[in-house]
Amino acid sequence: MEENIAKNVRTVEDTRMSKADTIYVCSNCDAQSQKWTGRCLECGAWGSLKEADRVRDAVGAPPRGAPTTEKFGTLLPFADSSLATGCLLLATNCPPLDLVTGGGLVPGSVTLLAGEPGIGKSTLLAQVAIMMSVIGGRVIYVTGEESPFQVRRRLTRLAQELPASLLFLDETDASVIAATLEAEKPTLTIVDSIQAMRLADANGEAGSVSQVKACAAVITEAARHSGIPVILVGQVTKDGDIAGPRVLEHLVDTVLF
């Protein structure tokens, strides 16, 4: 009798743990929910929530007190002199932009420049690219949304002679852009636009929430590792919000409209 009661109690506890550890993930925006709903509360997609693996399986979890094989990180003091060089701001030679960014761009930072179509995002960044190149900076302009010929026409309207250190990368693969950024170590990288990028490992078409999130994450990680500031151009929806439900804002360091 007592054994049956104990067995039933364990069964109920296991069921509760199973339900508590079950999550549902949106296939469109990767948002997580503890219960299934017909519509994702983040991106509004219908029928996109799928049951995912349990966060921690009660059966497979190691017993308390068992030795762990997890690796530990190395602690370093903020007073380390090697961090001092990373605190220097990179002036863009464009006074208005330097003003709103607090004096310049932080090495390894990612800035999102968003605005309505035709409002002047690409023209502003073309000016920044020219100004930085003139003072000796090496700038990579990723022409994902427009052709290199279109971008060159814009540049030649702003400057009679284009510096040799102003380069373009005609590419939409985020992994190629990230690898080029780390290999070339430019002074500044401009990606126009993040909605035109795509990643083979991510679901959806270019511009979808999952693609934008994955591409931005890959490029941001490359910027962190290389210490190169990156400016991403972001499009907005008809309501004036940045395309993607708060995905880009959480990944970047600075958001400019």
pLDDT digits (tens, 9 = 90+) for 172-207: 999 999 999 999 999 999 999 999 999 999 988 998
Residue 46 tokens, joined: 């219908």
Contacts of 250 (CB under 8 A, 6+ apart): none
Query: In this structure, are residues 64 and 54 in contact, taking their beta carbons and an 8 Å threshold?
Result: no
DSSP class of residue 25 equals E
Spatial strand order of the sheet with 49-51 comes to: 32-33, 24-26, 49-51
pLDDT at 55: 43
Residue 8 pLDDT:
53
pTM: 0.72
pLDDT digit of tens for each residue in the chain (257 aa)? 555 555 554 554 554 444 446 788 887 777 788 888 878 887 777 777 888 754 444 444 455 555 556 788 888 888 887 777 667 899 998 999 999 999 999 999 999 999 988 899 999 999 999 999 999 999 999 999 999 999 999 999 999 899 999 999 999 999 999 999 999 999 999 999 999 999 999 988 998 888 999 999 999 999 999 999 999 999 887 777 776 657 788 899 999 99
Write down the number of H helices and E strands in the chain: 7, 9
Question: In whole angstroms, what is the distance from residue 73 CA to residue 64 CA?
Answer: 22
Identify the pLDDT of residue 68: 59
What size, in residues, is the chain?
257
Contact status, residue 186 vs residue 226, Cβ threshold 8 Å? no
For 87, the token pair is 């605190």
Q: Which residues contact 82 (CB under 8 A, 6 or more apart)?
A: none
Cross-strand bridge partners of residue 111: 231, 254
Residue 57: the pLDDT is 42
How many angstroms separate the CA atoms of 61 and 16, rounded?
Answer: 15
Spatial separation of the C-alpha atoms in residues 206 and 179, rounded to whole Å: 19
Report whether the peptide linkage leading into residue 133 is cis, meaning its omega lies within 30 degrees of zero: no
Cβ atoms of 184 and 225 within 8 Å: the answer is no
Tokens of 76: 């370093």
Half-sphere exposure of 201 (CA within 13 A, CB side): 8
Neighbours of 93 (CB within 10 A): 17
- H helices within 104-246, ranges in order? 121-134, 148-158, 174-184, 209-226
